[in-house]
């Protein structure tokens, strides 16, 4: 699992070229028996090779646009790419007009010299944390692949593209956990930024109140580098925060319920190791979590806002939707204007209250998801799917409602089911969260 920093050093020293990095990625996409055909809905073979050669030429004369020039990335099928339809993992938009311009984040990636190798598969319209797509197939998570475990959603293809070496980073979106859940299920790192830092122009919306754009990659530093590009910031030098004296709050309510034994064991082991390194861990309850659940009882932001965007398509071609996605969209029709006004007010109050509650801590730590990835076959029943989906999204969605940054780090040992250790930082505390996560990552990797 190569990191971006490793690839950068190899490029700078002449040990490899952008063309070689891209060829490796394309070979893995095309590998017989691999997941490439389910991970990608479109592969940019010709454009990727041409872009890589251009970056190699610029690097030879010292004119590469950034240190990331030549790094292969994947792009979720939710971002506009000029001249292409943005289908968002659906059949509904198969006749949509091609995009006339790149999404803002795609333009920023191209300007930095990153090389897109293709568009990745996803949950239809990003509306699930599981990652199943009945139209284009479901990429299988790396763990016990022969059993066919779900990859997590909605950025399913993005996560598997990184885990399988088809790209060194994937562009994803996160409305309720769609970067972090696939990262946890596929054993990579997934980042959700403070939403306002990264522009959403040219990103097909799910819920504008909650949507954010973030990376999936093989390390905290990888995610920090791509996040900087997406946010239009200078590339950071991520310095680990000192472990001794770091203050982590661990919630005892809601987020620990329904936790599978393997996840609980990995999480408790991680906390014990961090404590041994001098991290101060405080277990406490956050009543704000129950208040979020209460505020969302009328439907929440996602269903209502998504229904507004989809209502014409739902009226015209309801049968073309994934029926599980359609059912969730249709529930949004019942939310009144008064319900939405009350929800917005409740969110404002809960966020302010949570800010006060977490002020004494560096971050809040919890399992990314309380479950390991179930098998695709085990979710054939709608009731089983709904239960797994709600559990997968439960912990991660808190950060979206609270308008915070959050990151998922792999915490399993070799041979164990994949599980994520999630750190939630403060609103606009992204750089500090990267420093905290880099320190925690160093412990979890040992």
Q: Which of 51, 128, 154, 212 is flagged as catalytic?
A: 154
CA distances from 146 to 150, 198, 263, 384, 388 (A): 12, 37, 21, 21, 20
Position of tokens 């661990």?
A: 250
| Residue 192 annotated among the catalytic residues of the structure | no
Confirm if 364 and 246 have CB atoms less than 8 A apart.
no
Of 254, 258, 302, which is closest to residue 128 (Cα–Cα)? Answer: 302
Q: Which two tokens stand for residue 92?
A: 């509904």
| Residue 12 annotated among the catalytic residues of the structure | no
**Half-sphere exposure (CA, 13 Å, Cβ side) for 242?**
3
Q: Which two tokens stand for residue 427?
A: 């609103």
Of 375, 367, 376, which is closest to residue 412 (Cα–Cα)? Answer: 367
| Residue 178 annotated among the catalytic residues of the structure | yes
Of 212, 222, 220, which is closest to residue 399 (Cα–Cα)? Answer: 212
Sign of torsion over alpha carbons 333, 336, 339, 341: positive
Rounded to whole angstroms, the Cα distance separating 114 from 370 reads 34
CA distances from 80 to 8, 54, 178 (A): 27, 23, 18
Assign 407 to helix, strand or coil.
strand
Q: Which two tokens stand for residue 430?
A: 């992204």
Q: Which of 51, 76, 209, 408 is flagged as catalytic?
A: 76
**Half-sphere exposure (CA, 13 Å, Cβ side) for 114?**
27
Confirm if 195 and 240 have CB atoms less than 8 A apart.
no
Order of strands, sheet of 72-76, starting from the edge strand that comes earlier in the sequence: 40-43, 115-120, 72-76, 169-173, 213-217, 189-192, 406-410, 420-424, 363-367, 247-251, 280-284
Rounded to whole angstroms, the Cα distance separating 169 from 178 reads 15
* 134, 140, 141, 145 alpha-carbon torsion, rounded to 10°: 150
Q: Which of 178, 212, 302, 397 is flagged as catalytic?
A: 178
Mind telling me the catalytic residues? 76, 154, 178
């Amino acid at each position: 699992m190569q990191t971006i920093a490793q690839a950068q050093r190899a490029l700078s020293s002449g040990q490899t070229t952008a063309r070689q990095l891209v060829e490796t990625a394309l070979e893995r996409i095309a590998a017989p028996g691999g997941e490439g055909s389910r991970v990608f809905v479109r592969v940019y073979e010709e454009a990727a090779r041409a872009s890589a050669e251009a970056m190699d030429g610029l690097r030879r004369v010292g004119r590469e646009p950034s240190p990331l020039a030549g790094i292969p990335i994947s792009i979720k099928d939710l971002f506009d790419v000029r001249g292409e339809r943005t289908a968002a993992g659906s059949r509904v938009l198969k006749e949509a007009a091609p995009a006339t311009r790149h999404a803002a984040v795609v333009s920023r990636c191209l300007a930095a010299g990153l090389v897109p190798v293709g568009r990745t598969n996803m949950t239809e319209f990003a509306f699930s944390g599981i990652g199943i797509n009945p139209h284009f197939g479901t990429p299988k998570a790396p763990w016990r692949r022969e059993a066919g475990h779900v990859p997590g959603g909605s950025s399913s293809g993005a996560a598997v593209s990184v885990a399988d070496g088809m790209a060194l980073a994937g562009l994803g979106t996160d409305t309720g956990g769609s970067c972090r859940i696939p990262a946890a299920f596929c054993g990579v790192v997934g980042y959700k930024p403070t939403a306002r830092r990264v522009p959403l122009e040219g990103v097909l919306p799910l819920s504008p109140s909650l949507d954010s754009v973030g990376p999936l990659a093989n390390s905290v530093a990888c995610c920090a580098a791509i996040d900087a590009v997406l946010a239009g910031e200078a590339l950071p030098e991520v310095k680990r925060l000192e472990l001794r004296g770091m203050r982590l709050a661990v919630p005892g309510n809601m987020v620990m319920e329904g936790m599978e034994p393997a996840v609980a064991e990995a999480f408790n082991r991680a906390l014990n190791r961090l404590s041994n390194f001098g991290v101060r861990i405080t277990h406490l309850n956050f009543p704000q979590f129950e208040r979020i659940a209460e505020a969302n009882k009328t439907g929440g932001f996602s269903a209502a806002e998504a229904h507004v965007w989809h209502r014409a398509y739902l009226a015209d071609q309801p049968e073309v939707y994934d029926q599980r996605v359609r059912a969730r969209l249709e529930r949004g029709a019942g939310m009144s204007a008064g319900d939405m006004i009350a929800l917005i007010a409740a969110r404002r109050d809960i966020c302010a209250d949570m800010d006060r509650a977490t002020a004494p801590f560096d971050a809040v730590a919890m399992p990314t998801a309380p479950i390991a990835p179930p098998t695709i076959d085990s979710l054939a029943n709608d009731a089983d799917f709904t239960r797994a989906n709600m559990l997968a999204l439960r912990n991660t969605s808190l950060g979206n409602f609270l308008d915070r940054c959050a990151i998922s780090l792999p915490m399993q040992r070799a041979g164990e089911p994949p599980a994520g250790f999630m750190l939630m930082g403060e609103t606009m505390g992204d750089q500090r969260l990267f420093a905290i996560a880099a320190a925690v990552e160093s412990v979890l990797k040992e």
